Amino acid sequence: MYFNFAATAALLSHAHLAQALPQIGSSISSSSVASTSAVSARATVWSVSEAAVPTSTAACNNSPDLCDRHYNNITHMGAHDVAFLRDSSTSFSTSGNTFYNATVALSAGIRLLQAQVHLEAGVLRLCHTSCLLLDGGTLEAWLATIKTWMDANRNEVVTVILVNADDQKSASFGKVFTSSGLSTYGYTLPTTSSMLIWPTLQSLISANTRLVTFIASIDYDPAFPYLLPEFNYIFETAFGVMSPTGFGCDLDRPSTQSSAAAAVSAGFMGMINHFLDKDAGFGIIIPDVDNITSTNSPSTTNVGALGKQGAECYIKWGVKPTFILVDFFNVGPAIETADMLNGIVGTGRVVVSTEPLTLATNSASRFNGYSGLTVVAIAMAVVAIVNTVWL
């Protein structure tokens, strides 16, 4: 059993008070995931303090237990840099952060999608530090695929977080959200203050405002009120972690908050960045896929494990993390940690392999079709950018 619930349950017993209140202060099958006895046992202990009695038999975000919970009192598992694939389409690019695309992630239970946006030749594109390194296509096309998925899955609330690498205005993003059709699902806050009562999932579903969008480095624009400045509402832990011992719960951003405790008191929602990087040489930083099984593990005792950071931040902050970002979400599987924090056993998810994808007998992984010295040249050209852009 991964979680040491006996040791943590008492420390988390206050959680029932937070449940009904805002936090203040390629291989998939069509079958749904079966509830194993091990997962059920772990989730049950959390549910003693976490789960309000559901009033709905329909599942919201893969569980009827989540329908009556407020948006900020749920842990939303997220796929970091989900537009940047490490699969056959990119020749298993070593700069990729995910084995499966955004819609596969959603079908597997991921409800937070994060990506990095650049302005390239006047078009907003999903580029990994540089479009030369890894190009995930236009933002409009990507958002359109999310809309198609949401059209077909009407009881699901999805969160999108975008890194605004080139400091574009809200209007630039708003035009693309509109043209993709995704803006029709956008949720607009009743107030711009962080001290607000977020709606329940059921409220968002009933109103069909099932998309919550945060964008870094934008100002609020009343013309596009569903595009929320990320760091007006979210605080996060450190990213760019290079060692399993580097995962912690201290506030890294925004600078407007002095500590995680201060951010929680101000109504901010906490986000855990739990993805490990490594130096591939020449100052080139890439995702550490070699250690992804231990990194995404739900263990609460193993150093560097996702479950351990999740439990520790819950205890330190006094509220569960609202968001968690991981690389290669299928391994672990990462969603198990969110399920245990939420006290649920998820239903209605497609089965995705929990194994890392590899190039099998071909050991020469390439960056987006490039290889050898070309890769080094491209990567070295963007090393300076890597140090300034959130990966």
Which CATH number goes with the domain that contains 57?
Answer: 3.20.20.190
Return the higher-pLDDT residue of 358 and 272: 272
Q: What is the pLDDT of residue 129?
A: 86
Q: What is the DSSP string of 175-207?
A: HHHHHHTGGGGB---S-S-SS--PPBHHHHHHH
Closest CA to 226 of 150, 147, 170, 269: 170
Domain membership of residue 292 (yes or no) is: yes
Q: Is 107 helix (H, G, I), strand (E, B) or coil?
A: helix
Residue 44, exposed/middle/buried by CB under 10 A (0-12, 13-18, 19+)? Answer: middle
Question: Is residue 295 assigned to a domain?
Answer: yes
The H or E element spanning position 336 is helix 335-342
pLDDT band for position 57 (cuts 50, 70, 90): confident
Domain annotation covers residue 149 = yes
CB atoms within 10 A of CB 70: 18
List the structure tokens of 273.
Answer: 């960045």
Q: Which two tokens stand for residue 116?
A: 């990095």
5 falls in which pLDDT band (50, 70, 90)?
very low
Q: What is the pLDDT of residues 284-323, one digit of tens each?
A: 999 999 999 999 999 999 999 999 999 999 999 999 999 9
Over the chain, what is the mean pLDDT? 84
Contact of 323 with 22, CB cutoff 8 Å = no
User: How many structural domains is the chain composed of?
Assistant: 1
Give the residue-averaged pLDDT of 102-106. Answer: 98
Query: Does 331 reside within a domain?
Result: yes
Give yes or no for a cis peptide into 321 (omega within 30° of 0).
no
Residue 306 lies in a domain: yes
Q: How high is the pLDDT of residue 232?
A: 97
Greatest CA span in the chain, whole angstroms? Answer: 60
Residue 82 in domain = yes
Question: Is 391 among the domain residues?
Answer: no
Helix or strand holding residue 132 (H, E): strand 130-138
Task: Report the first-to-last Cα separation within the chain, whole angstroms.
Answer: 33
Domain assignment present for residue 25? The answer is yes
| Two structure tokens written together for 296 | 């995404």
Which range of residues forms the domain containing residue 119?
A: 5-386
